[in-house]
Structure 1
């Protein structure tokens, strides 16, 4: 990647932020400033730290609370960037910042599919067979700018969102790595982002993991895969106790004789925990948590 050195301001967080920041450094980009987040004490931090990478590489970084503050705008302007990038930064950037220099965002889907928040989780929830990463021009409207680069990855039938996110992180690294020389040279392609296709999705809350056992088994399984740990998990309440599915598979054996007459919900059959669904099929639950502790089929049967 032999191009005249360009200065960049980078808004980054999470694994995608770390890997894409490393691509910029490998490509000879002068990262003048990184804007990232303070890790939240209330969140399960299972991902890599952009702040730690900046400390290792000696890159100036800040963690402002308000992306619309005049102070942040002044700091971005003072860095005099040629380019700006957003790699899984969680806040929308105001137009005043976008006006400082050409800005590009890395989104975790094959745009225009799954615009908005939590694209990997939504893709798994909807039973998609493919995910990916898209580098696109940033505009005031989220995930709407022209597409500069894309990289697809498969979603296998039993992949959890966590596993798919690992692939999406690699996809983001590959997409940026391949197009970076053209970006630095000002010759990167632009493909229109057709917003009449795909859809926009909002953020997900832990409560969205509540299981409706009357749904078909494939839908319940997709929910489990979409929110399986380290995400909050698909759950069901029985009396005062909340049960969270840690690991499960769609039961592909012949169940008619085993679950005939069983109502939708948790059941114990032949010392195995099943989640019986509305279409007469079931999930075979390999690990079920109650109060954070794994419970056995015998313990569940006693509480049922």
Structure 2
């Protein structure tokens, strides 16, 4: 069997290493370094990794895989099965047809593949403080995450997880699934299970959606930061009239009867090492890791987003682009005041 991997990010490296250890891999197709699209979050150049393992490495210049520059090359590879592990774009129909329908993808959500189709599922799961994530291997079809399911497994999300550790958990889980004989025995579309139930979709997030609402509880703010930390662009805020402050790591700071007169978003304290406290709805958030053009000082007011308005705007953007794809009920409930 001529098995190839399609990947552009390092988040799936644990899965890829498990696959390579379990079976012969003909080669890996990646995104060329220096291409206009290599700004993808978590981009990874697999050239050295493949060379060290004597695995053939092919690269493409564009994430969208236009047929004009790729069809003939891919046809010459004579791919039997294509494993899509860390390619954060839809696989074009011409490539699915070229592989005779045996293009295997990974998707999941805290509500499973059908109820959580769409974009940024792990980011949303962390942001909404979900405790489990269900990930599925499925046959990629021309639709969005709607192909027959080969296998499903779940893993826990804890308060210690951020987007990086959550991806590692998913990658290890996917790698273990792909390394089992049962999975490969089911690698016929007719053997897979069609998705049932009502489908709903998680909308795409953009970097500007990362502004913090300091009027929320500390637990919600910290979940928001954990969901958007590296390798993503990060949660952010801005002092009045100032530039963005990128916030990479934060935790609760509980102290009774202190700073009760401060406004939400106000810096309550700056410590000697540069860390600082920000007032929120039910206490303080300690900013452990951040990037700012200047040091924070006590009394600085940080601008605040409105969480409900933010979600409503994301939903509106999704509906304008995909009017026939219903948004997940949980996000609709958040935006209900609109």
**Pair in the same fold by TM > 0.5:** yes
Asked if structure 2 preserves the Cα contact closer than 8 Å seen for 1:39 and 1:45, the reply is no
Partner of 2:30: 36
Equivalent of 1:61 in 58, 78, 93: 58
Deviation of the 1:188 alpha carbon: 9.0
Q: Partners of 1:219 and 1:210 in 2: how far apart?
A: 13
State the superposition RMSD in angstroms: 2.9
Deviation of the 1:16 alpha carbon: 4.7
Secondary structure of the residue that 1:70 maps to in structure 2? helix
Q: Partners of 1:190 and 1:276 in 2: how far apart?
A: 51
Partner of 2:131: 129
Query: Are the structure 2 counterparts of residues 246 and 115 from structure 1 closer, same or farther at C-alpha, using a change threshold of 3 Å?
Result: same
Asked if structure 2 preserves the Cα contact closer than 8 Å seen for 1:107 and 1:133, the reply is yes
Partner of 2:283: 281
Partner of 2:104: 104
Deviation of the 1:47 alpha carbon: 6.0
Partner of 1:3: none
Alignment coverage as a number of residue pairs: 288
Asked if structure 1 preserves the Cα contact closer than 8 Å seen for 2:262 and 2:268, the reply is no
- Give the TM-score normalised by the residue count of structure 1: 0.81
Asked if structure 2 preserves the Cα contact closer than 8 Å seen for 1:12 and 1:88, the reply is yes
Asked if structure 1 preserves the Cα contact closer than 8 Å seen for 2:103 and 2:139, the reply is yes
Asked if structure 2 preserves the Cα contact closer than 8 Å seen for 1:103 and 1:138, the reply is yes
Secondary structure of the residue that 1:259 maps to in structure 2? coil
Query: Are the structure 2 counterparts of residues 76 and 262 from structure 1 closer, same or farther at C-alpha, using a change threshold of 3 Å?
Result: same
**Structure 2, unpaired ranges of 5+:** 302-338
- The answer to whether the aligner puts 1:7 opposite 2:2 as a matched pair is yes
Asked if structure 2 preserves the Cα contact closer than 8 Å seen for 1:144 and 1:195, the reply is no
Q: Deviations over 1:20-48 (max 9, x none)?
A: 433443333342x4321124587487565
Q: Partners of 1:87 and 1:60 in 2: how far apart?
A: 15
After TM superposition, where is structure 1 displaced by more than 6 Å over at least 4 residues in a row?
none
Query: Are the structure 2 counterparts of residues 39 and 125 from structure 1 closer, same or farther at C-alpha, using a change threshold of 3 Å?
Result: farther
Which has the larger strand fraction?
Answer: 1
Deviation of the 1:153 alpha carbon: 1.6
Asked if structure 1 preserves the Cα contact closer than 8 Å seen for 2:224 and 2:235, the reply is yes
Q: Partners of 1:289 and 1:30 in 2: how far apart?
A: 41
Deviation of the 1:240 alpha carbon: 1.7
Greater mean deviation of Cα atoms: 17-26 or 138-147: 17-26
Deviation of the 1:213 alpha carbon: 1.6
Equivalent of 2:201 in 199, 202, 206: 199
